[in-house]
Amino acid sequence: MTQTASAPTTDDAARRDDSWIYFDGEYRRYRDARIGLLTQGLNYGTGVFEGIRAYWSEERGQLYGLWFPEHYRRFHQNARVLQMRVPHSVEELCAITHELLRRNGSRETTYIRPLIFKSAETIGFRLHDMPDSFAIATAPMGDYVPTGGMRCMVSSWRRIDESMAPPRTKCTGIYINSALAKSEALQAGFDEAIMLTGAGHVCEGSGENIFLIRGGVISTPAPADNILEGITRQGLIHLFREEMGLDVVERSIGRSELYIADEVFMCGTGAQVAPVVEIDRRTVGDGEPGPLTLRVQGLFHDIVTGANPKYAEWLRPIW
């Protein structure tokens, strides 16, 4: 089973410092981008980010950017919620990201991190009439969670509610909620947390959407249950419907349904398609990744590495 996030080495840090980033209108080296201690986005979590992957195919000698426009459209929408204005159109953002990957000579699977944040270095916070800074950084990235079968726990931390902060956005401050759940799970010896809503419905992982399969019916929590509207989730719903002839029901899911499901898996830009084989010390199905999960995982892998030409429009070849 693949390990998650290992400690960075000195070589990793040197490579990161040398890497190109885009920051406030210029391509610069990572080491030359500095922000002040009083920056509002750092102090109050008033920022919005995205997470995008580009997949390297050794066989094709190509790096494929996955769903660039979809991620940047969500970025634009989320920035609007925080009263920020992204200084580039979706098309420009795709082109800047392309250029960044080329400058960095990226020939391995890479994570792309766009970020916009309130950049005033003053005490006190608000959303309106404040300057923003905008950056994109990239970093090599393998598996973010184990993809061969995860052991999960239902977190004691509930997912934030729409009445408190907007769950459908990737606002930086909201991620304290995910970090509490993630650490609780890892420190208790599990691979990942499953968060419930305040009302007790299944919501999602700390950084992944969740699907369950019972009697051939595929279900996933609906947006009204405070999920992040994942782009991978949307792509997989499409694959289940169009490629596998199966419907997906978006609905509220009870906690104990997790215990009796035939298959459970999580998905996301980081997680990709990650089967769940145990929840709260109960095996899911027969304790092995389920057949429909493995099918959609295989399909997803072939698409993102350019082996399935039918979905070429999801990809942007970088080289």
Residues that bind ligand PLP (CB under 6 A): 51, 178, 204, 207-209, 228, 230-233, 268-270
- Give the whole-angstrom CA distance, residue 175 versus residue 196: 15
> Angle, to 10 degrees, between the axis of helix 291-304 and the axis of helix 231-242?
110
| Known active-site residue 310 | no
CA-based angle 217:220:223, to the nearest 5?
145
Residue 270 or 285 having the CB closest to ligand PLP: 270
> Which is the catalytic residue, given 118, 170, 182, 310?
170
> How far from 220 is each of 37, 60, 200, CA to CA, in Å?
41, 34, 15
| Minimum distance, C-beta of residue 159 to ligand PLP, in the bound complex (Å) | 8
Element (H, E) at 179: helix 175-187
Q: Are 52 and 216 in contact (CB under 8 A)?
A: no
Q: For residue 42, what are its two tokens?
A: 């750092």
- Give the whole-angstrom CA distance, residue 103 versus residue 18: 11
| Minimum distance, C-beta of residue 164 to ligand PLP, in the bound complex (Å) | 15
| Minimum distance, C-beta of residue 128 to ligand PLP, in the bound complex (Å) | 26
- Give the whole-angstrom CA distance, residue 282 versus residue 118: 44
| Minimum distance, C-beta of residue 117 to ligand PLP, in the bound complex (Å) | 17
Q: For residue 49, what are its two tokens?
A: 């980010």
Question: Which segments of 104-214 does DSSP mark as H helices, in order?
Answer: 175-187
Q: What amino acid occupies position 230?
A: G
Nearest alpha-carbon partner for 45 in 177, 178, 181, 174: 174
| Minimum distance, C-beta of residue 206 to ligand PLP, in the bound complex (Å) | 7
- Give the whole-angstrom CA distance, residue 197 versus residue 225: 7
Residue 93 or 228 having the CB closest to ligand PLP: 228
Residue 227 or 318 having the CB closest to ligand PLP: 227
> Angle, to 10 degrees, between the axis of helix 68-81 and the axis of helix 90-103?
120
Residue 201 or 233 having the CB closest to ligand PLP: 233
Residue 132 or 204 having the CB closest to ligand PLP: 204
Beta strands in 77-125 (DSSP E): 110-118
Residue 130 or 273 having the CB closest to ligand PLP: 273
| Minimum distance, C-beta of residue 64 to ligand PLP, in the bound complex (Å) | 16
Question: Which segments of 104-139 does DSSP mark as H helices, in order?
Answer: none
- Give the whole-angstrom CA distance, residue 217 versus residue 261: 10
| Minimum distance, C-beta of residue 223 to ligand PLP, in the bound complex (Å) | 12
Strand partners, 183: none
Residue 192 or 208 having the CB closest to ligand PLP: 208
Give me the active site residues, please.
170
